[in-house]
Amino acid sequence: MMGRLPLDEQLTVLKSVLSRNEVLLEVLHRTAALEVPGWYVTAGCLFQTVWNVVTDKHPTSGIKDYDVFYFDGRDLSWEAEDAVIKAADEAFAGLPAEVEIRNEARVHLWYEQKFGIACAPHASTEAEIDSFAATTCCLGVRLEPGGRWRIYAPHGLSDVFNLVVRPNPVLAPREVYETKTARWQQQWPELNVLDWPSAPAVPTCS
């Protein structure tokens, strides 16, 4: 199994597997041309491409959208982010997929209103990726100058290749994890979805 390969070989295999998704490759190249700071293509389009290849599906099967995160703390206004979004809309025009680009320096400004949990300001795009609801999702890829792939995978790649979805209870609430995993299991029934951890028992005085 690919998840049992040495890490350096897993990275080589990951690049080979992701390269089968021609839409993903185009998103990577077009995002690089935008020159936004600290960017990664991240989340579902990456691990779902791997799941598709591992389960003998078309590389783009079931992928809802392609997420691009960047980090620019110089201007936290909506107007600055919207300008990047509009430039990206032009850059990604004609692709047979929805591409969403967001400034992760602004997440703390809207996260509590959307999810009901306060979020401290992130220090980087990597910090935002670290907070995804499942460790399996914590994956980002970008193209460096010269075309070298930069891969961010703080929890490794074994779970991704082995179709294991493991909860990451550091920020996102349990409901987010369970909603996402239920949807994924409909598309990829081969997944082994691990349960959200139970709350620790509250000590009582005797």
Per-residue pLDDT of the chain (206 residues; tens, 9 = 90+): 565 666 668 888 999 999 999 999 999 999 999 999 999 999 999 999 999 999 999 999 999 999 999 999 999 999 999 999 999 999 999 999 999 999 999 999 888 888 888 888 889 999 999 999 999 999 999 999 888 999 999 999 999 999 999 999 988 889 999 999 999 999 999 999 999 998 644 443 33
pLDDT at 5: 64
**CA–CA separation, 38 vs 55, rounded Å?**
32
Residue with tokens 């980087």: 124
Residue 100, φ and ψ in degrees, nearest 5: -115, 125
pTM: 0.90
Residues in contact with 183: Cβ distance below 8 Å, sequence separation at least 6, in sequence order: none
One-letter amino acid of 74: R
Residue 199: count other Cβ atoms within 10 Å of its Cβ.
8
**CA–CA separation, 89 vs 92, rounded Å?**
5
Task: Supply 205's token pair.
Answer: 């005085």
pLDDT at 1: 55
Q: Which sign does the torsion angle of CA 177, 149, 128, 65 carry?
A: negative
pLDDT at 114: 82
